[in-house]
Structure 1
């Protein structure tokens, strides 16, 4: 049975639930993940984003998560608490445990993954769901001796279904991610 977090990446043979990695750049200034606050939502009868706004917010939120996971993985799992910025508390705790295991085992990631092909599935006041492709082709798992311990049979591209929900600060947080279950897909 898959955990609630699903599989976001087998970046290098170690399955890191929501511990995939991506580029370390700031999100484009034209996009914002900030959503109306709970107070603002309660003032209107229906909280709604356009499909474009929902997709843009989801892309920025997912890229932010991947950026954080990339930094934490490169640091050998150090300071995983930063994931609370991008994940719901339950999912953050699960991912933090994986990074702590990585740190304990003396592993670190080299390289970075990317996110591409993000498509909106559905959105409402409580959920934005997207399909996305996580590409981990340039990542390698390195042990404490400096040896590359990346497994040869890892997935280079992982198609995902990602759920995001508004957090207390009004930004989208990843609440669930699962590998797309059908092998014939055009996500990646």
Structure 2
């Protein structure tokens, strides 16, 4: 499975037209390391979905801001692990190539893949996975001279699978990984 955090997707779109062909079957990512407690965090899947939607939107907003301002401080408040590392790396790539994102992305559709460990407390691994459609139609990437580097006609809505981990310390969900979904495009 290829990993394409949203910022990397923008960078790829800037270099070449990016199209998801659905030729590969994605599998859910491995869960993060166990936490100290197996107490249920949410009373229902609906409550878990609402929290995940809010946390994932906050993550995307922080990434948007970082790709615009090159400030990465907010990223550690909404992400951990691979998601944080890849977001910071994407910002570094934008700095190196003198590119900035303008505009904001939008999370269009979110659905639960699995939230059982947060709802029933049956596992020590307290995480959930979601499917999300990330709409980059409201964004552009400009080079140092103010020219768009996003090819006309490139895909603007991407199906993703994201893992969010419960943080006892922060008392909220944090995005721990984000990958492109290589199966059938559920955003179309």
CA distance in 2, matches of 1:187, 1:150: 20
Aligned length: 157
Cα shift readout 1:33-84 (whole Å, capped 9, x = no counterpart) = xxxxx7xx85xx7324111110011001000011111112222xx2113211
Paired with 1:72 and 1:46, the residues of 2 have a C-alpha distance of 34
Distance 1:159 1:59 in 2: 15
Partners of 2:63 and 2:75 within 8 A in 1: yes
Match of 2:63 in 1: 69
Which of the numbers 87, 97, 100 marks the counterpart of 1:105?
97
State the alpha-carbon separation in 2 of the partners of residues 59 and 85 from structure 1.
16
Note the C-alpha offset of 1:154: 3.0
Aligned equivalents of 2:163, 2:81: Cα separation in 1: 14
Aligned equivalents of 2:135 and 2:158: distance in 1? 6
In structure 2, what is the equivalent of residue 171 of structure 1? Answer: 172
Counterpart check, 1:60 vs 2:58: no
Q: Take 2:81 and 2:129, find their aligned partners in 1: how far apart are those partners?
A: 18
Quick one: distance in 2 between partners of 1:90 and 1:72?
16
State the shift of 1:97 in Å: 1.7
Residue 26 (structure 1) aligns with: none
The alpha-carbon distance between structure 1 residues 104 and 171, as it changes in their structure 2 partners (threshold 3 A), is same
Deviation at 1:99, TM superposition (A): 0.1
In 2, are the aligned partners of 1:80 and 1:100 still within 8 Å (CA)? no
Where does residue 96 of structure 1 map in the other structure?
88
- TM-score of the superposed pair, with normalisation by structure 2: 0.74
Distance in 2 (CA, whole Å) between partners of 1:144 and 1:47 is 49
Shift of 1:14: 4.4
Q: Whose RCO is larger (CA < 8 A, sep 6+)?
A: 2
Q: Distance in 1 between matches of 2:160 and 2:63?
A: 16
* Unaligned runs of at least 5 residues, structure 2: 16-34, 119-125
Contact in 1 for aligned 2:82/2:177 (Cα 8 Å): no
Q: Does 1:144 align with 2:135?
A: no
Aligned to 2:40: 47
